[in-house]
Amino acid sequence: MEIIKPKKLQKGNTIGILAISGRIKEYERIEHSKLFFESEGYKVIISDTCKSSHGYMSGNNDEECIKALHNFFENNEIDVILCARGGYGTLRLINKIDWNIIKNNPKIFAGYSDITILLNMIYKKTGLITFHSAMANGDFGDEIKDYTKESFFKALTGESVLYKAESGIVYKEGIAEGILWGGNLSSLVSLCGIDFIPEDENLILFLEDLNEPVYKIDRMLTQLFNMEKIRNKVKGIILGDFQNTKDDELLKELIINFSEQFQLPCCDGFKITHDKIKDTIPIGVNVKFNAKKGLVELVDKYVC
């Protein structure tokens, strides 16, 4: 696959805030996010889908969300597309997206949670590196944490080259290389049945989730690794937070057994999370992963 590196974020650029997943319940948060980025020296354009909804999703309908996505990529004034929030909705869109519009107008595309679906499908379909990052509504729409802010701007300007686990558990020692790939586990699993796995590269799989009991995490991991491509391509697993599982010891036992079963270097403790303090991580960049040291080193540049 030919990798496309987006242009790095620079002062004075325009950030487009795009709602294509869950509906925005408090538009004031989007306005707060706009003011934050303007105070940092950026211009901001907000999609109309931030102000409308159908059921639990943003926009008046799926077609409006598709149109907003296409327009944001085609709009030469917009340099970075930052998703407003996750929730649910992007799975409904992926069979309607014109991937050539994205491929022919590459730019930074960022978000997490339900946006995991688009981050990985964009990379799969176009080769464009995307970013698992803080979002406008839940992060920048509130008092943004210093760590989250710093990681976001370092990653999008191409400065961040090392991620380190803090107080993590080493489930299985080892060193592996591949491209960073993954995100929210339940969102990633929802792509099963679709051609979503990169063809040529080994994968360093990173995962997080929220409010999922251990048996569901077990089921989702099993579903992923029942796929031959996943078993053949994944060379290491990086874990962020699995919040509110209600049984951390059972989760620990599951991960130990899982990493041993598939002989995969694995550790947790990374700031990949629904929590307020989070890293921004490029999807599609080559990395070296040392599970014993809890280190992920980016090998290649991922913005131009």
Q: Which residues are catalytic?
A: 113, 208, 274
Residue 31: alpha-carbon gap to chain centroid: 23
Residue 63, burial from CB neighbour count under 10 angstroms (0-12, 13-18, 19+): exposed
Cα separations in angstroms, 268 against 174, 207, 287: 13, 9, 16
DSSP assignment of 171-216, as one string? Answer: EE--EEEEEEEEEEHHHHHTTTTS--S-SSS-EEEEEEEES--HHH
Q: Residue 159: phi, psi to the nearest 5?
A: -90, -30
The single residue listed with the structure tokens 């960049």 is 285
**Contact status, residue 64 vs residue 42, Cβ threshold 8 Å:** no
- Which of 248, 288, 246 is closest to 268 using CA atoms? 248
Using DSSP, state whether 46 is helix, strand or coil: strand
Confirm if 79 and 107 have CB atoms less than 8 A apart. yes
